[in-house]
Amino acid sequence: MRLREPLFISCAMLLAAAVASPVEAATPKAPTIVSVNPSKATVLTGSTLKFKITAENESKSKASAAHDLVFLLSKSKSASGAKELGAGTIPSLSPKKRKAYSFEVQIPVTAKAGDLRLLLCHPRPGKSLLCHSDNIKLKVKLAPAELTISPTSHDYGDVATNVGELKRFTIRNVGGQPSGAVAYEIVGPQASQFSYLRP
């Protein structure tokens, strides 16, 4: 009896291993990120950064899983305190298949100038983001001043002489740097009949 027990336990363990192995092997793995292009970039606040991620399925026989990514703007290689700029997915790849995918993110107009990184991170339910070692080194510069006026025109219609009607125009600087002094004037064939109030 003592000789048979170890044999019985060994057979049971081998049977369990044989059943578990096919299930584990059938689970598709995420593709490997081969490269990110560009690896460095100079960008202006408010601009769009376009980049490509090349991924490869290293398996010789099985398709890879689709790979979800979150794109973060960070001061370092850590996702802690980073700002999410967008997300994307690398679709399932056939065995031994390599392919490049295009993505883009908008650099916030509120971003500060300096050296930052665009991190490529993989979301994991119930866990913290797992960030790839591949990322894009960014040199962020403030966009130049850019003024907009809203509305661009007003229709005063028929107005009696010496009767005032106040219309408002709003000027905004949507750029990243101060504009300096703003000059404005009234022009046109009847410009002398109008005046303006400074804010």
Note if the pTM is more than 0.85.
no
The CATH number for 26-141, chosen from 3.10.20.600, 3.30.70.1350, 1.20.1740.10, 2.70.50.60, is 2.70.50.60
Q: What's at 85, amino acid-wise?
A: L
Sheet holding 130-141, edge to edge: 40-44, 130-141, 114-122, 67-74, 83-90
What phi, psi does 190 have (nearest 5°)? Answer: -120, 30
Give pLDDT < 50 ranges for the chain. Answer: 1, 3, 7-9, 11, 14-15, 18, 20, 23-24
* Contacts for 62-66: CB closer than 8 Å, 24+ residues apart: 62/26, 62/28, 62/29, 62/95, 63/28, 63/92, 63/93, 63/94, 63/95, 64/28, 64/29, 64/30, 64/31, 64/92, 64/93, 65/28, 65/29, 65/30, 65/31, 65/92, 66/90, 66/91, 66/92
Name the residue ranges covered by the structural domains of the chain: 26-141
